[in-house]
Structure formats: C-alpha cells, structure tokens
Structure 1
Amino acid sequence: MEQEEERKELLDDCWEMIFDRLQYKSDKEAITLVCKRFLSITNSLRVSIKLSDYTPISILPRLLQRFSNLKKIQFCNFRGDMN
C-alpha cells in the first residue's frame, strides 16, 4: 500500500505577506496567472485602480466587486459622463 504524503499549504495571510513584498507590477500580474487562489489573494491586496478614457464606465460595478478593498479610484483623461 502506498502511504499518502501529508500536504501542507500556506495560509492566505502568509501568501498576502509574500505577495505584498513584490516590488514590480509585472511580478504581481504574473502571480495572478498561477491559480484562482492567487488571483483572489492579489485582488484583495489591491487598494487603488486607475481608469482611463478607454475604460467603459459600465464595468465599474464589476471592478468594485472584484477589488473589494479599493480606497482610491483615479480617472485619467476621462471624458465620459460621471453620473
């Protein structure tokens, strides 16, 4: 009979501390491609987002749901209706 190996995983809080120390945006973006869990963890770490004129305002509710810890939304060159 084969013995099952005990599998240990890091808690999300540990991953958050690791991901938060990454300095380059490209590294953080690459992490999101590894698995859904890492995507979820990095989403929770995002506190600001920048929207440009090319971003449809209709997706704002989805962005707010995805990035639940946002504290700052920056509009750059936005020409649409803010209402």
Structure 2
Amino acid sequence: MGRLFIESISSTMVYKCKCCRVDLTSSGQIIDKNFQSKSGKAYLFNKVVNITLGSCEDRSFVTGLHTVSDIHCSSCHQLLGWKYVS
C-alpha cells in the first residue's frame, strides 16, 4: 500500500469527517440542503475530497430508483454518505 495523500481545504467554513476531522469540502460546494437520509439531514455537494467510493448499487429513494455508490472517509473509512451515479 502507499502513503495516504490528504488534501487540505483553505476556506473559512470547512466540513470535516466527524471521526477523524480530515477536511472533506467547503460551504461553497453546497448545491442543496433539502435531502433526508436514514440517519437524518443530508446535503448535496458539488465537490468533496479525501473520500473513497464503494461499489455501485441500485437503491430505492422517495424520488425513485437510483444507482449510487457509498462514500467513505479515505483516512478512517467512516461511512459519510452516498454519491449518485445515475
């Protein structure tokens, strides 16, 4: 395995992993705050860093069936959310 590359974000409002505090994105990357997940409120972001993607799978949401991939923190592997694939 190689050395883990962690990207830092220079912004006044930075969203971080709740477990290891690694930078994930800035408030300027928020597209929409009107999402709901099984565990509570969810945001839609344009760009997120320091993540790894899981395999694609079809999931049923209120808006219908979507293909998504889970997003994990690249530092501590905490599940952060999901990414719409199609």
Shorter-chain TM range is under 0.3
TM-score, normalised to structure 1's length? 0.26
Largest Rg, 1 or 2: 1
More relative contact order in 1 or in 2 (CA 8 Å, sep 6+)?
Answer: 1
TM-score, normalised to structure 2's length? 0.26
